[in-house]
Chain A
Amino acid sequence: MSDRLTTQTVLRVKNVSKNFALPHEKNSSIKSGIVNIFKKRDTSVEVQHALKNITFDIQKGEFFGILGRNGSGKSTMLKILAEIYIPTAGSVETHGKLVPFIELGVGFNPELTGRENVYLNGALLGFSRKEIDARYDDIVKFAELEDFMDQKLKNYSSGMQVRLAFSVATRAEAEILLIDEVLAVGDADFQRKCYEFFKSLKKLKKTVVFVSHDMSAVREFCDRAILIEASEVIAEGTADKIANQYTRLFIDVSEDESNVPQDNERWGDKRMVFTDVKIVGTKQLNDDTPALKFSAEFIANRDIETIVTGSSISNSAGDEVCGTNTEHRR
């Protein structure tokens, strides 16, 4: 009874595993094939377990994040959901039309014009000529490429290509969307458009499976998420909780590597050591100014007469956003 698909579950992944056979030396030519006949066979194939026993459900209207480090298996998972790969074991049940965006502009041909590429890419997403005809003006307007549609794609800048591809993608009428790292490309203006698109998807109650390394996007849009590490799901829960856990993966690694890290995460001679830094609260000062309250704990390993503590906040690019210290405050 519990195995029955409820009306709300639109995507059910059950005990999915995926193995890839990795030949050490791929017998893709006759010569190596013949040579390998005389070698022992068991050394020639290694099985890579890309996914092990993955199970999760996605409800209708959910924005669902799949997080994990590079090589953890999250892209393989997305490709299995998109039916590009067949799972070695387990099953995937899908209810509703699913459109994958593993990459923008699939099938784009540089020798064709922008217009022709819209129809080709649209066909791959399941649009007939008539359906594209009806949306064509919309697509061109959204991409802001009115004057370039009859030029060959090879004469487009990469930004223009992405805009066109994204514009077609946003017209896809699907109940379930799979989105992989789309935000990784494009400038700030394009990213803003992406965010607006995601907001509209949320508003329309579309089901979205979202793979990203951008934790701020995950926190903002995802309702729930799973964390895949070394081919297995190691956590499932609210987006905030999973995003924190994802970030911790990297910190744990740097502590494992050495007790006195050499990078700028930690430095000094350990006369005093920070034991904890955490955000204790956020609030909105006014419409566009958020405030952040954090606490830091440290212990002194020897007697110290006077101490000066400082803090600085950097953005993900490593540039300092703001900073202060107790000496300065005095």
Chain B
Amino acid sequence: MKSQLTQKYRYSLILLKELVITEFKLRYQGSALGYLWSLLRPLFLFIILYFVFVYFLRIGNDVPHWPVALLLGIVLWNFFSEVTNNGLTSIVNRGDVIRKINFPKYVILLAGSVSAFINLLLNLVVIAVFMIINHVDLSWSALLSPMYVIEVFVFALGLSFILSTIFVRLRDMNYIWEIIMQALFYASAIIYPLSMVIQKSPEIAKLILLNPVAQAVQDARYTLISHANPTLYHLTNENVLISLIPIVIVIVVTIFGAWLFKTRSPYFAEEV
């Protein structure tokens, strides 16, 4: 049974592995420091954010370890943004190969997201270092945090299936997505603490957390850094049904995306 399954996906697996290796090699192609940049970029980003938001604007003083929570949010958002933005153009960018040979197209998207995921893991190493420096107390709930990283990963991949399929026929999609991402970034409580919103309107805070990315970031902050970061579960007075809405959104988007991609991908070669 197992060998039958690997036989069926043998070609996909070979291709996936090779494309991930390629993307990995090409990511910092020609730069002297190479993969060190995956560590240096979040580090410098953190220093800048720290000065702007904590030192000058004095935002988030009421949240313990806010700078670390801020960095975690930015890193997860950047990962989400990278997977969807690269995913959107990836089919069109590989049009040359698609027109020459038949292969499972989803491998392209999977390879891009796995490569971004490896980069995310390196970024998370930097966050771990800052957590230690800031004396963040780890609780048992930290064991739940990988779940939220996976949630962001699946959501981004599901969206990529939809976006890349649309982009093949509608080349405006990248500009539309750029605008949506800008709006979502400010509407996802990434660079400001959610407590600021709750003070003004708890209803808006709940609305913000229905977005799976905002919910996952907030839950990751809660489980990993400090319980002072309120989650959807707490804001809705532990209403399980409402708390499940973001998860349902992720599942629906991913299943729809996979279906759309599977239906349309046989025609990519002639449309791209």
A residues near B (Cβ < 8 Å) are: 20, 28-30, 33, 79, 82-86, 100, 102-103, 106-107, 109, 111-112, 116, 119-120, 122-129
Contact = CB atoms under 8 A, between A and B. Distances in A.
A129 B97 contact: no
B101 A102 contact: yes
Given A116-B21, A119-B18, 7 more contacts: A86-B267, A106-B97, A106-B100, A109-B22, A122-B18, A123-B17, A123-B18
Interface string B78-117: 0000000000000000000111111100000000000000
A89 to B, nearest CB: 15
Contacts of B18: 119-120, 122-123, 129
A111 B27 CA distance: 11
Nearest to B176: A30
B99 A84 contact: yes
Most buried by A among B21, B169, B270: B270
B269 interface: yes
Contact of A28 (B14, B169, B270): B169
Nearest to A86: B266
Nearest to A125: B101
A127 B269 contact: no
Nearest to A124: B101
Contact of B171 (A28, A109, A116, A127): A28
A137 B109 CA distance: 32
B interface secondary structure, majority: helix
A223 to B, nearest CB: 26
10 contacts: A30-B170, A30-B172, A83-B102, A100-B101, A106-B100, A112-B22, A116-B25, A120-B22, A123-B15, A126-B11
A109 B172 CA distance: 27
A128 B6 CA distance: 13
A82 B101 contact: yes
B29 A79 contact: no
A285 to B, nearest CB: 45
Given A30-B172, A126-B14, A128-B14, A85 B270 contact: yes
B99 to A, nearest CB: 7
Nearest to A103: B100
Contacts of B171: 28-29
A112 B18 CA distance: 12
A114 to B, nearest CB: 14
A121 B62 CA distance: 55
B180 to A, nearest CB: 14
A100 B22 contact: no
B17 A124 contact: no
Contact of B22 (A106, A116, A122, A125): A116
B57 interface: no
B169 A20 contact: no
Nearest to B171: A28
Contacts of B10: 128
Contacts of B17: 123, 129
Contacts of B29: 111
Contact of B102 (A82, A122, A123): A82
A327 B270 CA distance: 60
Contacts of A29: 170-172
Nearest to B30: A111
Contacts of B15: 123-124
B97 A107 contact: yes
B26 interface: yes
Given A86-B267, A111-B29, A129-B17, A124 B97 contact: yes
Given A82-B101, A86-B267, A112-B25, A123 B172 contact: no
A284 to B, nearest CB: 41
Contacts of B14: 123, 126-129
Nearest to A50: B270
Interface string B12-36: 0011011101100110010000000
Most buried by A among B99, B101, B169, B266: B101
Nearest to B29: A111
Nearest to A109: B22
A128 B170 CA distance: 35
Contacts of A111: 26, 29
Give 5 nearest A-B pairs by CB, closest first.
A123-B18, A83-B102, A106-B100, A84-B269, A102-B100
Contacts of B269: 79, 84-85
A65 B11 CA distance: 29
Contacts of B99: 84, 102
